[in-house]
Amino acid sequence: MLSYSSYTLTAVAALLVTCCALPECPGIPEPPGTPGLPGKDGLKGQERLTGLTRPSGNFLGPLRRDRLPWSQGVPVSLDSELHNVLVNLKPRLCRLEGVLALNEKIKVGGEKIFASNGKEVDFASALKSCEEAGGTLATPMNEEENKAIMGIVKQYNRYAYLGFTESRVSGQFQYLNGVPLNYTKWHNYEPNGKGTEKCVEMYTDGSWNDKKCNMRRLTICEF
Ligand code: MMA
Ligand code: CA
């Protein structure tokens, strides 16, 4: 059981589609290659997840990203022992999520989980801590996500940086991957920085203000 733990958690990511918001578990790497691109096994994205196999031998020792036996052994779909493990893990993950939500450690908004470390730092430092924790800066892409993030801003009563920056075109903002925003919640008369305020903060009412990136703002990450 222990020998498959890392493996199993990743398999859960592929199989759990309801109840938990957790799409994947921190610290557990994606299968080789990126979605859509073939990995060493020749499989692409979803093919690789649905074709997930367990190792044929024992997988002992610490987790090594380069040592995960993704494509050896029996297919998970045919492995009743591993299937049972996954079926049992699902409600346990949901219970853990419930505990964290009850204790106000996380907020769930749609598919995402939002959490703060309670620290107020500049934009670059906030982004760094989110990435080090396996997430990114909170990036509201719809009203539901915006409300979940606002819940944390209200909980700490501190404005927070969001995962947006101003593009080369002054007054236009984009996601951290460079794609233009497709949902916005600007406060009245914002954005108004016109090239001088390249980051975005969320106010306690959930509305947004473009702001200089060197302020100390609450770190809120999404996972
Ligand atoms: C501050 C600063 C701006 C914001 C205005 C709104 C004076 O500047 O936070 O980003 O747009 O307040 O009045
Ligand atoms: Ca502004």
Q: What is the pLDDT of residues 133-166, one digit of tens each?
A: 999 999 999 999 999 999 999 999 999 999 999 9
Indicate which residue's Cα is closest to atom 1 of ligand 1. 211
- How do residues 75-130 score in pLDDT, each as one tens digit? 777 889 999 999 999 999 999 999 999 999 999 998 999 999 999 999 999 999 99
* Alpha carbon of 202 to ligand 2 centroid (Å): 11
DSSP bridge partners of 136: 222
- The atom of ligand 1 lying closest to the CA of 193 is 10
Domains identified in the chain and CATH numbers: 4-102 (no CATH), 107-222 (3.10.100.10)
Supply the pLDDT for residue 32.
42
* Alpha carbon of 124 to ligand 2 centroid (Å): 18
Please tell me whether residue 166 adopts helix, strand or coil conformation: strand
Q: Is the pTM of this model over 0.85?
A: no
For 132, residues 6+ apart whose C-beta sits below 8 A from its C-beta are none
Asked if pLDDT for residue 218 goes beyond 70, the answer is: yes
C-alpha to C-alpha distances, 121 to 95, 218, 219, 222, nearest whole angstrom: 32, 7, 7, 16
